Structure 1
Amino acid sequence: MTTEVASGRKARPDRYDAIIVGSGIGGLVCGGYLAADGRRVLVLEQHDVAGGNAHVFRRRRRYEFDVGTHYLGDCGEDGIIPAILSGLGVGDRVRFRPMDNERGFDRVITPTVTLDVPSGWDNYRDRLKRALPGEAAGIDRFVDLAKTTTALSRASLLGEPVMDLYRASPEVTRWSRRSLGAVFDHCGFSARARTVLAAQFGNYGALPADVSFSVHANLMDHYLRGAYYPEGGGQVLVAALVEALEGYGGELRTRTSVARILVEDDTAVGVELSDGERITAPLVISNADYRRTVLDLCGGEAVFPSHLVRQTREATMRFPLTAVYVALDTELPATPNANIWWHADDDLEQAHARMIEEGMREIPQLIFSFASVKDAGAPNVCPPGHSNFQLMTVCPPGHAFWGVDKGPADGGPYRRNAAYVARKQQVTEAMLATAEEVVGPFRDHITHLETATPLTNERYIRASGGTPYGLANWGGVGKRPDVRTGVEGLYVVGQSTRYGSGVGGAATGGMVCASHVLGRRLLAEVHRGAVVGDPSLLPDRGPGWDPLRVSRGRARREAKGLARIG
């Protein structure tokens, strides 16, 4: 039966079991498992391609840049990410290239310390002690606490009985809920040691006082289990998930914007698109920005309790990023197969306080990600003998820093705004100058240069504050919403849930959401080798297979405008 809508168009009949708003990793993982279970799934994406922060873009028919997939952890034989892919039958469709896990997959540089971070907590402990010889007792205390915390977290995720373990470790339970800064205080670390240990805070976008110890420890554990890069880039991972979704009968519609999530009698019933079309389903999963989901898509107090709406409205976001994408017609000399985390000061926390107060007069921290080293020889990354890398730094929150009153998600123009253009040029120049101080001169060899600001991220991802990291403080340090919302049939996934950050966190959150819907401990099942669905239904990959093309969805696969390499 159809119903009339305000636009005069007819609503589609209820032919979907689940609608997913947004096609980030969390939404695609959840949608894939629901489809593999036989549910009729529709994924709606406002951008041209699926992937959210995991998508790529191409330039000059020679270069492909990853937006958010810079490296992945835990992709070995026992890894959670390979288990999630294998559970959908696509484990053999994504290959992971190891970074230099022995010499170091991350290089931390401060004015007085250089530390190459290897895989393994005990190896990391030894390197820390050599770099910070006066901090040995605190390092032991910190690493022991982190190892126990992460072991319990992993056991819990994989369905093992852990209550007795928690009861036997009351100190771990207590400290895992405190901030990273509080644990640093407990360990008696100097400012320099705090900087070295928190150097990779750009993986989650929050300073030690604003992130829980468990978030930091679990993310470090993720990489210390081995750091990898998906062969062919992040879009390969996205495309494999799209193939699973569509192979099991699901549907991906790109360039389709959702205006509202429809809730009636405290129950989700579907969505209304920006063109007025309504699509009904008894289950709606929002992979959109959490604040926009609660306040805009659902209408705030019209759906949720006033205290939750207030908590969401007052929530702070993690730091936004500015990224500079660089291509060169030469190779950078002696570039390690590692990320570089450069810090201008041995006191990270003071340096970032100055950055906020002084409006980024200097670059306090710079992250280097070398795609042409991690995926050496890949034809989509760059031509032979060229370089493709990315520079990133956190920047002050808010639109005012960029010279605008409101962002593109709320209709604010910005790209030709003189103040915005000037600020963007200033930040880009500062980042390039700093980068040359770290790795040597390269600007004479630039063949492509492009900067993405937080407003760029807001435009494409519609993320509050332009951050890729989601919520920072949702009623408490490190506190974040679960995938269940309290509204019947409405769930949330993505970077702002308690299972973020990064690809691994988003994928885990998608698994947890699907588990609640299906009443199964999916992550535990697939980690033990279970496969959900029938892999024989997956599409073949013919000659010229293109992950970006696949990620547009079946209906738009042949549409004009697809950027190509070569």
Structure 2
Amino acid sequence: RALTLYADLDRVEEELHALSPVDSAAIGAYVRAVRQFEALRPFELSLLSPMRALRTVVPHLGALIGSVRATQGAYAERFRDPFLRRALPYIQYSIPEAPMLAHLGIYSQITGRTGGWPAGGSLALARAMERRYLDLGGEIRYRARVTRVIVENDRAVGVGLEDGSEERADLVVSAGDGRSTIFDLLGGEYADERLRRYYASPSAMQQFGVHVSLGVARDLSHEPHALTLLLDEPVVLGGQPHDRLDVEIYAFDPGMAPPGKTAVKVAIDGRYDYWKDLAKDPTRYRKDKDRLAEAVIERLDARFPGLRADVEVVDVATPLTTERYTANWRGLQPWSPPGNPLLGMVRGVSRTLPGLAGFHMVGQWAEGMLGIPTAVSSGRDLIRRLCRRDGRPFVSDADRVTQ
């Protein structure tokens, strides 16, 4: 049996009823919730004035609060069909404990045609932003690692670089790793008790911590863009049992692979300490990565017969890989702050630091949420706030699009 989430919500509703006629009431409630989020368009609220955002939210407040209170795992219990009860906890990011807010917010963008995939992926998006910034007269210095934030009289006034040089500034904005920024670049001087507790309690298990990427000499454009394969028997990957595989198939984007071929990625949970211990012996580390890739290919071959023979490229990235490339502490991504998820979305984690003027943080670590949209909108929102503070108009191409 299979549950498919199409961009056409009417088609999804029909499929759900076909899968489980006895769940008619629960299916209707789910579809109505998606429709409400289509109208709410939560990811665009930051583009509105505070008063207009409030007027937009009020009619959908019940759905919004309900989506925060119910996790995906708990929401699945509203259905009677055993398959749906097993599948629905993994409906978004394969995280049963995630609030339904995440799924409804993202999926409603797809069904409402207000969100999608940037052609070429995150690199193409970053390059487009780079071009726009340079066209506006901005300057970028690459390969210039920051080692400290220069602070004078409790005000950030610039950054010190690895080569010993300094760059002075009116404002300092960090889009980097949160822990490194707060405790390394600033020495922990402006971390209050809330931030210290947050960074003292990272999860030992990193969601999406290990990525197995494959280059396949096969056209998979007829397959879904993403699959969650529920396994009959758990498989041990990276020292942990897994009862499912989350598969992403990039055949829809011609920039991801040559014609007739497909880039495929499987992301699984991983533990930094497990891989760090293995890395003490490079041979063991490499062999375990090879075993992991082989186990993943074996399960994919069962779903796509003959796929093993078509695999031309294999790359396994562990939390150590992420740490090396991004400087994120332990290869981690941010986790939600404790307490009410909706309040966490409003407050973020560390957009500013107590007692430090002239300093801001943007991106996933500032917001405590994941994803490229989070990173991009966080920076944009900061500039909007600064313009409002200085009494200056904020104008962008996006404003003209959303009017």
Tell me which amino acid in the other structure corresponds to 2:246.
L
1:293 maps to 2:181: yes
Question: How does 1:118-267 map onto structure 2 within 5 Å?
Answer: 118-149=6-37, 151-152=39-40, 153-154=42-43, 156-159=45-48, 161-164=52-55, 166-181=57-72, 184=75, 187-188=78-79, 192-202=83-93, 207-209=95-97, 211-226=98-113, 228-267=116-155
Name which of 247, 256, 269 aligns with 1:367: 247
Tell me which amino acid in the other structure corresponds to 1:493.
V
Contact persistence 1:263–1:270 (CA under 8 A): yes
| Matched residue, 1:508 | 377
Contact persistence 2:174–2:360 (CA under 8 A): yes
The percent of aligned pairs where both chains have the same amino acid is 21
Deviation at 1:189, TM superposition (A): 6.0
TM-score by length of 1: 0.60
Question: How does 1:427-438 map onto structure 2 within 5 Å?
Answer: 427-438=292-303
Give the 3-state SS of the residue equivalent to 1:117 in structure 2: coil
2: distance between equivalents of 1:183 and 1:527? 38
Over 3 Å counting, the alpha-carbon distance change for 1:222 and 1:499 in structure 2 is: farther
| Matched residue, 1:271 | 159
Give the total of aligned pairs: 389
Deviation at 1:229, TM superposition (A): 4.3
Deviation at 1:219, TM superposition (A): 1.8
Give the 3-state SS of the residue equivalent to 2:200 in structure 1: helix
1:528 maps to 2:400: yes
Which structure 1 segments of 5+ residues have no match? 1-112, 406-413, 532-566
Please identify runs of 4+ aligned residues in structure 1 that moved more than 6 A. none
State the Cα deviation string for residues 49-75 of structure 1 (Å, max 9, x = none): xxxxxxxxxxxxxxxxxxxxxxxxxxx
2: distance between equivalents of 1:319 and 1:278? 37
Question: How does 1:4-15 map onto structure 2 within 5 Å?
Answer: none
Two-structure CA RMSD over aligned residues (Å): 3.4
Contact persistence 2:45–2:53 (CA under 8 A): yes
2: distance between equivalents of 1:523 and 1:440? 53
| Matched residue, 2:257 | 381
2: distance between equivalents of 1:442 and 1:264? 60
Tell me which amino acid in the other structure corresponds to 2:253.
D
| Matched residue, 1:562 | none
Contact persistence 1:295–1:313 (CA under 8 A): no
Over 3 Å counting, the alpha-carbon distance change for 1:339 and 1:170 in structure 2 is: closer
1:476 maps to 2:327: no
Deviation at 1:186, TM superposition (A): 7.4
Tell me which amino acid in the other structure corresponds to 2:65.
R
| Higher RCO structure (Cα 8 Å, ≥6 apart) | 1
Contact persistence 1:315–1:475 (CA under 8 A): no
Over 3 Å counting, the alpha-carbon distance change for 1:154 and 1:457 in structure 2 is: closer
Contact persistence 1:512–1:522 (CA under 8 A): no
Give the 3-state SS of the residue equivalent to 2:210 in structure 1: strand
1: distance between equivalents of 2:243 and 2:138? 45
Name which of 417, 428, 450 aligns with 2:282: 417
2: distance between equivalents of 1:194 and 1:269? 54
Name which of 338, 344, 347 aligns with 2:225: 338
2: distance between equivalents of 1:120 and 1:175? 24
Deviation at 1:232, TM superposition (A): 4.5
Deviation at 1:283, TM superposition (A): 1.2
2: distance between equivalents of 1:523 and 1:343? 47
Over 3 Å counting, the alpha-carbon distance change for 1:432 and 1:145 in structure 2 is: same
1:404 maps to 2:283: no
Deviation at 1:173, TM superposition (A): 4.4
| Matched residue, 1:552 | none
- Once the two structures are overlaid, the 10-residue window that deviates more, 303-312 or 472-481, is 472-481
Tell me which amino acid in the other structure corresponds to 1:471.
P
Over 3 Å counting, the alpha-carbon distance change for 1:484 and 1:182 in structure 2 is: farther
Which structure 2 segments of 5+ residues have no match? none
2: distance between equivalents of 1:143 and 1:368? 25
- Once the two structures are overlaid, the 10-residue window that deviates more, 335-344 or 179-188, is 179-188
Give the 3-state SS of the residue equivalent to 2:164 in structure 1: coil
TM-score by length of 2: 0.82
Contact persistence 1:259–1:273 (CA under 8 A): yes
Over 3 Å counting, the alpha-carbon distance change for 1:200 and 1:188 in structure 2 is: closer
2: distance between equivalents of 1:362 and 1:471? 22
Deviation at 1:431, TM superposition (A): 0.8
Contact persistence 2:122–2:372 (CA under 8 A): no
